[in-house]
Structure 1
Amino acid sequence: MSSIPVLNDEQWLNLLKYAASDFNEVTLSRGFQYFKQQFVRSLSASGDHSLQARVAGTEQYTVTFHIDKPASGRCTCPVGYNCKHIAAVMMELGDRMGYPASQLVNAKHHIKQIALASPSEELLKQLPGKDVFGWHEAMNEITAPVKPPYNQSQYIEELRYRLQHIRKASIPFSEIDSVYFDVHQELFVLRKFREQCTHGEYKYYTSFVLPRLYRDMHDLLRQKSAMSDFSLSEARLSQTLQYIRRQMAEETGFSFMEYGLYDVMWELWISHLPEIEIWVSRELDDIEKQSLLSPSLAAAKAFLYLQQSRNEDAWAVIETGGILKDIPSSFLLSFLYRISASGDWETLTNWLTKTASSFYRRRSHELEAYIRLWNEAAQHVPYAKQQMWSLLESMLPYSMSIIEDMLYEQREWKLWIEMQIQQEHDPLHHRVSVLQPIEKDAPELLLPYYHQAVNHYVSLKNRHDYKQAVKLLKRLEKVYKKMKLPERWERFFAGFTDKHSRLRALNEELKKGKLLG
Structure 2
Amino acid sequence: MDTDYKLDDAQWRTLLEGVAAQFDELTIMRGFQYYKQGRVEELELRDDGYAHARVKDNRVCEVAVRLDELGDSTCTCPLDRGCQHMVAALLRYAELCGRPIQAIVNARSALRTSGDKTAASSNASGSGRNDGTDTPGRGAADGVRSGASGTGTDALPWADAPGTGRSAPPTSSRPLRPAFTEQDLSELPVANWHERFQQRRGPLHLNVRTAQEANDLLADLHAMRPELPYALEQLFSLHALCFVLERMVKPAQADWRQSGFFMGFHTQNAMESLIGSARTLLEERLALGSEASAYWGRLLETADFLRERMLTEDKTLNCFAALHASLWLHWLAPASAGSEALYEEELRKLRAAEQELGKALSLLPWTLAQCLLLIYLERDKEAWSLLAAGGGKLMLGPGPLMPLLDVIGRAEQWERLRGWLAATGPLLAGFRGEDLAPYGDYWTAVVERLPEAEASMWDTLAAMLPFSRVIYEEALTAHGKWERWMDYQMSSGQDPLSFRVAVFKPIEKEAPELLLPFYHQAVERYVLQKNRDGYKAAVKLLKRLAKLYVRLKREERWAQFLSAFASRNSRLRALQEELRKGGLLS
Confirm or deny a common fold (TM above 0.5).
yes
Distance in 1 of aligned mates of 2:431 and 2:217: 41
Q: Residues 90-169 of structure 1: matches in 2 within 5 Å?
A: 123-124=178-179, 126=181, 129-131=184-186, 132-146=190-204, 153=209, 161-167=216-222
- Distance (Å, rounded) in 1 between the aligned partners of 2:466 and 2:386: 31
Q: What letter corresponds to residue 442 of structure 1 in structure 2? A: A
Q: Which residue of 2 aligns with 1:248?
A: 307
Letter in 2 for 1:453: A
Pick one of 251, 255, 264 that aligns with 2:326.
264
Deviation of 1:441 after TM superposition, in Å, equals 1.9
Which deviations, in whole Å up to 9, do the C-alpha atoms of 1:221-254 show, x marking residues without a partner? Answer: 354468x654268766873453133231352278
Matches within 5 A, 1:359-374: 359-373=428-442
Return the letter of the residue paired with 1:467.
K
Q: Secondary structure of 2:467's match?
A: coil
1:335 aligned residue (377, 381, 404): 404
**CA 1:360 to 1:317, structure 2 compared with 1: closer, same or farther past 3 Å?**
closer
CA–CA distance in structure 2, aligned partners of residues 378 and 175 of structure 1? 43
Following superposition, the deviation at residue 442 of structure 1 comes to 1.9
Contact 2:414 2:450 in 1 (8 A): yes
Contact 2:384 2:423 in 1 (8 A): no
Q: Alpha carbons of 1:235 and 1:297: their partners in 2 closer, same or farther (altered >3 Å)?
A: farther
C-alpha separation in 2, matches of 1:239 and 1:184: 11
Q: Which residue of 1 aligns with 2:352?
A: 292
Correspondence for 2:467: 398
Equivalent residue number for residue 205 of structure 1 = 259
- Paired letter, 1:476: L
CA contact (8 A) 1:142 1:162 kept: no
Aligned match of 1:473:
542
The correspondence for 1:415, drawn from 480, 484, 494, is 484
Q: Is the 8 A contact 2:430 2:467 kept in 1?
A: yes
Change (3 A) 1:301 1:153: same
Alignment-derived partner of residue 239 in structure 1: 298
The Cα of 1:391 is off from its aligned counterpart by: 4.3
Q: Is the 8 A contact 1:244 1:262 kept in 2?
A: yes
Q: Does 2:514 align with 1:460?
A: no
For 2:391 and 2:245, the matched residues in 1 are separated by 24
Of residues 222, 227, 241 in structure 2, which corresponds to 1:186? 241
8 Å contact from structure 1 (residues 249, 297) kept in 2: no
Q: Between Structure 1 and Structure 2, how many residues are aligned?
A: 397
- Give the whole-Å Cα distance in 1 for the aligned partners of 2:374 and 2:494: 48
User: What letter corresponds to residue 547 of structure 2 in structure 1?
Assistant: K
In 2 relative to 1, CA 237–430 (structure 1 residues): closer, same or farther, beyond 3 Å?
farther
Shift of 1:368: 4.2
Percent identical pairs in the alignment equals 29
Q: Give deviations 1:394-451, integer Å, cap 9, x for gaps.
A: 4333233333333333333233223222333232111111112221222222112222
> Is the 2:432–2:470 contact (alpha carbons within 8 Å) kept by the matching residues of 1?
no
Alpha-carbon spacing, 1:229–1:302, altered in 2? closer, same or farther (3 Å): closer
Give the unaligned 5+ runs of structure 1: 1-5, 10-48, 50-116
Using the alignment, how far apart are the partners of 2:174 and 2:458 within structure 1? Answer: 64
Aligned-pair distance for 1:188?
0.6
Unaligned 5+ segments in structure 2 are 1-18, 23-70, 72-157, 159-172, 355-362
CA RMSD of aligned residues (A): 4.4
Partner of 1:221: 278
Aligned residue identity for 2:540: K
Q: 1:327, 1:464 → 2: CA distance?
A: 43
Letter in 1 for 2:239: H
Q: How far off is 1:190 after superposition?
A: 1.8
- SS of equivalent to 1:411: coil
Alignment check: 8 A CA contact 1:221 1:265 kept: no
* Partner deviation per Cα, 1:182-221 (whole Å, 9 max, x = no partner): 43222112234444455x2426535543976664344113
Q: 8 Å contact 1:454–1:473 — kept in the other structure?
A: yes
TM-score by length of 2: 0.55
State the one-letter code of the partner of 1:123: P
TM normalised by structure 1 equals 0.62
* 1: CA distance, partners of 2:296 / 2:537: 66
Residue 292 of structure 1: SS of its match in structure 2?
A: helix
Residue number in structure 2 paired with 1:55: none
- Within a 5 Å distance, the mapping from 1:32-111 to structure 2 comes to none
